[in-house]
Structures are given as structure tokens and as C-alpha cells.
Amino acid sequence: MRILITGTEGYIGSLLAPLVVRAGHEVVGFDTGYFTEAELGPPPEQPYRTIRRDIRDVRREDLEGIDAILHLAGLSNDALGQLSRRLTYQINHLATMRLAKLAREAGVSRFVYASSCSVYGKSAQDLVDETSQVDPQTDYALFKVADECELAELAGDDFSPTFLRNATAYGASPRMRFDLVVNGLAALAWTTHRIAMTSDGTPWRPIVHVLDISRAMMAALEAPREVVHNQVFNVGDDAENFQVRDIAACIGSVFPGCEVSFGAADADQRSYRVAFGKIRGALPGFQCEWTLRRGAEQLHALYAQVGLTEAHLRAKPFTRLHQLRHLVDTGRLDADFYWTRP
């Protein structure tokens, strides 16, 4: 198949795209390159052509001959969404819908959308699954829900959207993020030998390794159409729902000499435990291969290999919010997050 992957220069995309190529597909990347400098460890493999353009300006001709789209490009977490509601709406919602409509017109039959478990918000239920009511607490989550609803309306005989509600990712990627809970805590454990949490760490978070997200996207792409047509799947593993304090404790036990302490209850009210049985049942062959402990060990090995320092931890590209603010403050991006120079 000929696959367009958006967000190929991000944390997930730069691991996913080479996997899709290795599986025998032709890949075209699409990314504006906000975080291309976030390289850590071995450089990303790029055995494919990339269209370097803003997703808001995708063209019909970009989609000619494409069989499927894996759509990852966008402002990628709750904090980024808080930067600007207007731009989150434009980039995460309007541009997604325009891409999907152009894709359907161009005869692209599959559209795999990177949604998020954060659509569940502060769930009153003990355990949420794909049939539970969503409860988005931020603009980021709200526009994920809006995308899911409006993409579902485009579904038809010739167009099959699939919604993957990913848990919070962790693990090594050639374009790293430290603004993800496991990666960030592990980076603190390595550089300062201390995880001093300001919160009590009681909220629940489901987590999933970035390679397992990539494998889930591939599995959705390759599954028979009737299995994934207009379907929502949570991506993760039942055993990988943790309270944040248990994530910190696990990392503390993997990084020698790391002290872990906790603070008071947090204002951040997002807390959810998620059931992941549907994807395992529907996409045989897909099962998460990673656990938190194994991921923490992988991060320990990566941070040792690159000699991770506090300067890395402070470097803007690894924290998406800081990088976007920096690009605007230095005039490299304008107020609409368009590059000021080609």
C-alpha cells in the first residue's frame, strides 16, 4: 500500500514510519517540522520522502495514489492545547477534517486517526471502555472528540476511519519528548537522582510504549476493512493502568540511587483507568509487548548511552510547549504558528 503518514518528524511518527516501510509499504511523510531538532540517540531512519508543509495547507495532489492515511500531525498534548484554543481548533480539528474530506474525494480508503485516552477525562466510572461516555477536560481532548465524531460521519463504502485512543506514550524514540510522564520522571531520576513530586500522585493514568502504539497503527492499517471500519479502539494494556505514584516508584527502583517523594493532592483532576480488551480481541496478533519496567530499563540504557544531562532536560525541543513558545518568541513562527521563513 502507499501510505501517507502525517507527523512523521514527531515522537511517534519518526518510529512508526520506518516500521511501515519495513512492513513493505511505500510511505510518504508529511510534517511542518516544529520538533525536528528533538533528536536524542541514534538519528531517525528516513527511508521515505517527506512533504514539508503545514497540515492546514495539505493539497489534493498530495493525496493522489494514496491508499491510506495514518494521521498524527497536530498539537500533541493537553498543555499545547492550552497555548491557543484558536490554533488548536485550526490545526487539530479544521485541518484534520479538511484532510479527511480531501482524502475521501481522492479515493483514499483508510484513515487511521491518533486519538487519545484523555477523551475520558475525569471519569466517574471505575473502568472506562470504548462504549463509556467521554468527558474531555481540555481543548486538546475536546477537539479529539470533535474529530472522532465528524470523521465518523464521513464513513462510507469507500472510506473507513478508525480511531485509536492511545494511552500516554513512553519509551525511547529518535525524536524524544520529556513532557510525557514516564520519560520525564526517568530523565529526572537519571540527571538529579530525585523524583520530588509536587502532587500526591494518586490519579490513574494508562500508559503504553511508543512502539506498541506504532504496532497498533500498523495492525489497524492491515486489518480487514470490516474489523476496523468506523471503530474506536483503546490502545494499551489492562495491566498498564498505574497511579502516577506507582510509576514514580517503579522508575525509582530501576534508576539506582533515586529518591522518590510526594506532595499534596493536585489540582489536575484527570484520572481514568481504561479497559483495553477490544483491540486484543479484534486485531488478533496485536498485544502490547512492553511493560513499564521494561520501558524504564530501556530509558535507563538510552540516557546512559547519550550521557543525558540537565541541559538536555532543559533543551526546548524535548518539551513541545517550550519549543513552540521559543519558535514564536524568536520570530521563527508567526502568531498563527506558520514559519516566517521557508
Is residue 320 within 8 Å of residue 80, measured between CB atoms? yes
Cβ distance to ligand NAD smaller for residue 39 or 260:
39
Which residues ranging from 215 to 274 are in contact with ligand NAD (CB under 6 A)? none
Do β-strands 241-243 and 204-209 pair in parallel, antiparallel, or remain unpaired? antiparallel
Which of 11, 159, 163, 190 touches ligand NAD by CB under 6 A?
11
CB of 259 to ligand NAD, least distance (A): 26
CB of 193 to ligand NAD, least distance (A): 26
Instruction: Compare residues 138 and 166 and give the one whose CB is closer to ligand NAD.
Output: 166
Instruction: Give the C-alpha separation, 271 to 121, whole Å.
Output: 6
Nearest approach in angstroms of CB 7 to ligand NAD is 4
> 169 by DSSP, 3-state: which?
strand
Region class of 171: left (phi > 0), else alpha (psi between -120 and 50), else beta: left
Residue closer to ligand NAD by CB (options 90, 160) is 90
Q: Count CB atoms within 10 A of the CB of residue 86.
A: 11
Per 3-state DSSP, what percentage of the chain is helix, strand, and coil (rounded to 5)? 45, 20, 40
Q: CA–CA separation, 123 vs 310, rounded Å?
A: 36
Q: Which of 303, 235, 274 is nearest to 134 (CA)?
A: 274
Query: Are residues 129 and 275 in contact, defined by beta-carbon separation less than 8 angstroms?
Result: yes
Stretch that binds ligand NAD, among 6-14, 124-132, 192-200, 270-278 (CB under 6 A): 6-14
**Angle at which helices 292-306 and 244-254 cross, to 10°:** 50
Applying CB under 6 A, does 27 fall inside the site for ligand NAD? no
> Strand 2-6 and strand 26-30: pairing?
parallel
Shortest CB 114 distance to ligand NAD, Å:
4
User: Does residue number 179 form part of the binding site for ligand NAD (CB under 6 A)?
Assistant: no
CB 106 within 8 A of CB 66: yes
The contact mask relative to ligand NAD for 127-166 (x = CB under 6 A, - = no) is ---------------------------------------x
72 binds ligand NAD (CB under 6 A): yes
> What's the closest the beta carbon of residue 123 comes to ligand NAD, in angstroms?
16
Options 5-13, 155-163, 272-280, 305-313: segment touching ligand NAD (CB under 6 A) = 5-13
From residue 104 to residue 123, what is the string marking binding to ligand NAD with x (rule CB under 6 A)? Answer: ----------x-x-------
Cell of 81: 492545547
Q: How far, in Å, CA of 123 to CA of 268, rounded?
A: 13
**Which position among 110, 177, 205, 300 is part of the footprint of ligand NAD (CB under 6 A)?**
177
Candidates 3, 4, 5, 13; binder of ligand NAD (CB under 6 A) is: 13
Of 26, 33, 79, 339, the one binding ligand NAD (CB under 6 A) is 33
Tell me whether residue 131 is exposed, middle or buried, using C-beta atoms within 10 angstroms of its C-beta: 0 to 12, 13 to 18, 19 or more: exposed
What sign results for the dihedral spanned by CA atoms 119, 125, 127, 130? negative
Minimal CB distance to ligand NAD: which residue?
10
Considering only 5, 10, 142, 283, the residue that binds ligand NAD (CB under 6 A) is 10
Count the site residues for ligand NAD by CB under 6 A: 28
Q: Which is nearer to ligand NAD, 300 or 320 (CB)?
A: 320
Residues that bind ligand NAD (CB under 6 A): 7, 9-13, 31-35, 54-56, 72-76, 91, 114, 116, 166, 168-169, 177, 180, 320
